[in-house]
């Protein structure tokens, strides 16, 4: 079984499109979609969609119960609700333009991280249903704007092996047992802004996993910006206390650690295995010796 996990907040119209892109495969591939609603407004709630899309499972977090500001927490909650042995991580507004589920079913193996192409659509091609559903139009746009996206809400690639090989989880896939071994997202990023995605990729590489870019099986990132955000404005988003907090965590803790597991996580039958390695043993001996010399 494949479990798609996403953290959702106030994007119902776009998310319904995403569900429609999956609905075509509901009788062909065994999958579920776990959606953690991160305190959306009443009119944006998703429970009423569950009878329409039987593969949809909604877990609601009320605003009063939110103590965090980073989506790493709802994602981890979603992981532990999953029943599949293969996990797709994605943004709720990412529309499956090609058959991602089939690709994951046939090509995801142990110690591999699949990173699917993600093309950003502008407001016009998102809001106009005729343009959005016209595959000739979308194919033309993708061909014409084959470059790194220049502004959030513009046309271009958010994730692609050539144009922007970031591996961020716009739409990615991993075996459940590998995700358990990593511990999912690091909850130390919970109170800040950003860098949770950088942390996950860093630890995937530390674990020695193979990151495989898939450029010909993609998702479309539906525009959800009130106005396009320029590169300068995008940088400004990360000049604040919460972003600085997570930047410091990444630079001073994550990037200096040799331990790739950042959290305790269980998914269905999978639980973390603890095996002491030589690096851990040497670190413990080094620490004990340092303490012994210091006490003299």
Per residue in 139-160, pLDDT tens? 999 999 999 999 888 999 999 9
The count of structural domains within the chain is 1
Per-residue pLDDT, 279 = 59
Q: What is the SS3 assignment for the chain? A: CEEEEEEECCCHHHHHHHHHHHHCCCCCCCEEEEEEECCCCHHHCCHHHCCCCCCEEEEECCHHHCCCCCCHHHHHHHHHHCCCCEEEEECCCEEECCCHHHHHHHHCCCCEEEEEEEEECCHHHHHCHHHHHCHHHHHHHHHHCCCECCCECCCEEEEECCCECCCCCCEEEEEHHHHHHHCCCCHHHCCCCCCHHHHHHHHHHHCCCEEEEEEEEEEEECCCCCCCECHHHHHHCCCCHHHHHHHHHHHHCHHHCCCCCCCCCCECCECCCCCCCHHHHHHHHHHHHHHHHHHC
Per-residue pLDDT, 290 = 76
Per-residue pLDDT, 287 = 73
Task: List the CATH number of the domain containing 189.
Answer: 3.90.550.10
- 159: domain range? 2-295
Please give the structure tokens belonging to residue 139: 């194919």
- In the block, tokens 């990173």 appear at 115
Instruction: Enumerate residue ranges in the chain where pLDDT < 50.
Output: none
- pTM over 0.75, yes/no: yes
Residues contacting residue 95 through CB under 8 Å, at least 6 positions apart: 17, 18, 21, 219, 220, 221, 222
């Amino acid at each position: 079984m494949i479990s798609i996990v996403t953290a959702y907040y106030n994007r119902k119209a776009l998310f319904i499109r995403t569900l429609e892109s999956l609905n075509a495969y509901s009788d062909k591939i065994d999958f579920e979609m776990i959606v953690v609603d991160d305190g959306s407004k009443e009119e944006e709630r998703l429970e009423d969609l569950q009878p329409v899309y039987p593969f949809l499972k909604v877990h609601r977090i009320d605003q009063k119960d939110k103590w965090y500001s980073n989506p790493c927490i709802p994602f981890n909650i979603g992981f532990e609700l999953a029943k599949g042995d293969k996990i797709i991580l994605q943004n709720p507004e990412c529309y499956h333009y090609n058959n991602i589920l089939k690709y994951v079913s046939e090509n995801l193996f142990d110690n591999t991280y699949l990173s699917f192409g993600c093309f950003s659509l502008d407001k016009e091609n998102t809001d106009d249903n005729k343009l959005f559903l016209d595959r000739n139009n979308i194919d033309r746009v993708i061909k014409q704007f084959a470059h790194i996206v220049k502004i959030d809400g513009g046309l271009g690639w958010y994730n692609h092996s050539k144009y922007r090989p970031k591996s961020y989880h716009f739409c990615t896939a991993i075996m459940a047992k590998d995700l358990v071994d990593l511990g999912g997202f690091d909850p130390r990023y919970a109170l800040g802004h950003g860098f949770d995605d950088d942390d996950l990729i860093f630890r995937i590489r530390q674990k020695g996993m193979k990151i495989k870019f898939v450029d010909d099986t993609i998702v479309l990132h539906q525009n959800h910006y009130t106005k396009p955000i320029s590169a300068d404005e995008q940088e400004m988003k990360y000049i604040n206390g919460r972003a600085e907090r997570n930047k410091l965590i990444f630079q001073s803790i994550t990037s200096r650690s040799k331990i790739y597991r950042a959290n305790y996580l269980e998914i269905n039958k999978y639980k973390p295995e603890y095996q002491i390695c030589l690096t851990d043993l040497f670190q413990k001996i080094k620490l004990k010796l340092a303490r012994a010399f210091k006490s003299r």
